[in-house]
Amino acid sequence: MTPSACFAKGTPAPRRLSPPGSLSLSLALLGSVAACSQASRQAAVADGPQAAATTATAANTTGAARPGAAAERTISLFFVNRLLNTPEPCGCSSEPLGDVARLAALIRSSGASLLLDAGGLRYDDQPMDAEKLRQARSKADFLEQTWAALGAVTMLQPEDLRGGLDELRGARRLVSNTTGLPEGATVREVVREVGGLKVGLLGLADPEAGWPAGVQVGDPIAAATDAVARLRDQGAQVIVALTGLRRDKARRLLRKVPGLTAAVAGGGDRELTEGAELPEVIGDAILLVPADKGQKAARLTLHLAPAPAAKGGDKVTFRLHPTEAQQKKQAEAAAAQLLTVEKRLAELRKDASAEPAFVRTTETEAERLRAEVARARTPQPPPQVSASAGYATAELVPIRRALPRDAEVAKRMTALDRQIGEANLAAISGPPAPLPAKQASYVGTDGCVGGCHFHDDAIELWRSTRHGHAWKTLVDGGKDLSYDCVGCHATGFDLPGGSNLWTLARWQRALPADAPPAKPPEKAADKPEDRAGPDLRNVQCEVCHGPGSLHVRAPNKNPVPVPRPTEARCLECHTKEHSDTFQFTAYLRDILGPGHGVERRKELGDGPTGHELRSAALAKAGQSGGGH
């Protein structure tokens, strides 16, 4: 199978379902969900022989029995959406979520299961220069190959086309409403057998998304209606729609198109990048939203009778059943609403001027909510299963570090880091071009020492901070030649008069990551372009205070470019994704002291430090290190 064959072999993964806006929506989990409609007995798989080979790997036909429920089998559908070129997360946060090696291990340990990807797999949606696009292409191809090995079925979104339409030639991405793509790049629908159940899959692209010229996208509702009919004719017993639609559009789709068991939404929903915690029941279908970048997979577990239906093409219907955690949330929501009504009722009873009719109405509302709280707190037994009916559970699964990793995928990820680093370095022939002497350039901590009488103390303080060891974390993780990471772990990276991968690599080869500054190695003293310049590994003074060559040359004449950096400067790297515990004042307490803002440190007074915030978050996440 080619790496791109994964397009027609889906993998379900994370998109977070948005929390309910009301109690009624939360309780909608108790509603019934119908599966696919009646289909003919023909069991045609649209992908041909390659698909059949992959299905044998992905569909463990034994199923996974639920503990204490010998008379049922389970099938797990894992959904992901918008991986956005992210095999693994940045490791700097207190609890990094994501990692395809952990997702692979989860899927392979889940019995009869299938991975379904709603698209946006290959590239991020942010601008990239040519160098970064090269690195991104390597990661995109790795993701394709990994999804193919897992037997994933993958939909299509515009981010998958950023490298050009030819990258998808022969890919067989699942999409039911597009034209204008290379021959063999797409398939309209596919039937996969998982645990004895025939699962019909269709893909729906968003016509309003930013598609490249030449790609036409038709009406999703019309395409879905036609695809459902074709899938019925192919014997599909349940039908799932992978979509690049926003959630509001997906809701409308499910109201208009009968016969769907489930759908995935979230494409373009910027407020849903972390997924939606609770599923929704729309008509007879379950709507799921996994998180971006593989942080949380949406898992739909279908509970069925122990043997397939007597007639393989007969539909199977499902009723959505809340998980224990979801039942608890429902009870908490009902109790909170009851508390609000009871407070209002108590105030009304004290108010002699309150209208009796309004008081009675409020009393009735309180009584209703008390009954609702009692029902919500009563454990809900799962429905009985039969040959033609079952029940489903749906939840987000955070892909945490506590999950095991698939050894083979992890090994390939390590090799990918080396491959990317070597390719990145080979594409650079020397250091950044030097700046004219009248313009400020970077000198590094070695160049700063001696510029002012207090700098020795300042340098010692800096060495005690995480800034002073930021480069080593990249070396230890094998990311010191990755464009994804280096910019926030080095000084003046890709800036005029600063550093680049070539200079940083020369320093790394010459000295250990934590070695003190020293003169850089030279291949030829008569070739200025071969000189690595100052050691700009780690987050040094000039990251916050600006390039310091002019200040060092004449401190009294040229002040420090940025004498008192603001929070905005920190936020260039301390983003929510990369530094989830960042608080400006707390983090300042870590980096101010002797020789470096000692008076300001006194002004800040006692309070939490960045180190304390990180440590608390790491302890909560069950980790022992990392974080910024």
| Interatomic CA distance for residues 197 and 387, integer angstroms | 11
Q: What pLDDT is recorded for position 607?
A: 95
Instruction: Say whether pLDDT at 50 is over 50.
Output: no
Task: State pLDDT tens for residues 495-540.
Answer: 999 999 999 999 998 887 766 555 555 444 444 445 788 999 999 9
Of the candidates 209, 344, 339, 309, the one whose C-alpha atom is nearest the C-alpha of residue 269 is 209
Are the C-beta atoms of 195 and 75 separated by less than 8 Å? yes
State mean pLDDT over 95-115: 96
More confident residue, 46 or 403: 403
Q: What is the mean pLDDT of residues 328-353?
A: 92
Structure tokens at 522: 């030279």
Quick check: 29 pLDDT over 50? no
pLDDT tens-place string over residues 208-245: 999 999 999 999 999 999 999 999 999 999 999 999 99
* Lowest pLDDT segment from 5-9, 124-128, 425-429: 5-9
Counting residues of the chain whose pLDDT is more than 70, the rounded percentage is 83
pLDDT of the residue at 624:
44
Extract the runs of DSSP E, i.e. beta strands, from 346-388. Answer: none
Rounded CA gap, 380 and 1, in Å? Answer: 45
Predicted confidence at residue 329, as pLDDT, reads 87
* pLDDT given at position 625: 44
What pLDDT score does 34 carry?
Answer: 32
Q: What percent of the chain has pLDDT over 90?
A: 64
- The pLDDT value recorded for residue 568 is 95
Measured at the CA of 14, the angle between CA 337 and CA 303, to 5 degrees, comes to 80
pLDDT band at 415 (very low <50, low <70, confident <90, very high): very high
DSSP 86-137: -SS--TTSSS----HHHHHHHHHTSSSEEEEE-S--S--SS---HHHHHHHH
pLDDT of 519 reads 53
599: which 2 tokens?
């008076």
Q: What is the pLDDT of residue 250?
A: 96
Section 326-343 average pLDDT: 91
**Share of the chain residues as helix, strand and coil, in percent rounded to the nearest 5:** 40, 15, 45
Give the 3-state DSSP-derived string for 264-332, with helices as H, strands as E and coil as C.
Answer: ECCCCCHHHCCCEECCEEECCEEEECCCHHHCEEEEEEEEECCCCCCCCCCCCEEEECCCHHHHHHHHH
Q: What are 12's two structure tokens?
A: 């379900």
- Kindly report, residue by residue over 549-582, the tens digit of the pLDDT: 999 989 889 999 999 999 999 999 999 889 999 9
pTM to 2 decimals? 0.82
Between 595 and 11, the higher pLDDT residue: 595
Q: What mean pLDDT is reported for the chain?
A: 84
Which backbone phi and psi does 218 adopt, to 5 degrees? -90, 180
Q: In the block, which residue shows the tokens 């919500």?
A: 376
18 pLDDT band, cuts 50/70/90, is: very low
Higher pLDDT, 310 or 30: 310
* Predicted confidence (pLDDT) per residue in 366-385, tens digit: 999 999 899 888 888 888 88
Rounded Cα distance between 86 and 264, Å, is 20
Please tell me which of 35-39, 129-133, 384-388, 501-505 the model is most confident about, judged by mean pLDDT.
501-505
Residue type present at position 126: Q
Distance, in Å, from the CA atom of 319 to the CA atom of 322, rounded to the nearest integer, reads 10
* Gap between the Cα atoms of 186 and 200, Å rounded: 16
Ranking 11-20, 160-169, 251-260, 355-364 by mean pLDDT, the lowest is 11-20
Identify the helix (H) or strand (E) that includes residue 357.
Answer: helix 356-377
Residue 345's pLDDT band, with cuts at 50, 70 and 90, is: very high
Backbone angles phi, psi at 282, to 5 degrees: -120, 110
Q: What is the mean pLDDT of residues 383-401?
A: 92
Look-up of token digits 């559908």: 77
**Residue in this structure with the two tokens 């992210």, named with its chain if needed:** 86
Q: Higher model confidence: residue 393 or residue 383? A: 393
pLDDT tens for 427-452 read 998 899 889 989 999 999 888 886 66
Residues 6 or more apart whose CB falls under 8 angstroms from that of 31 comprise: 281, 319, 320
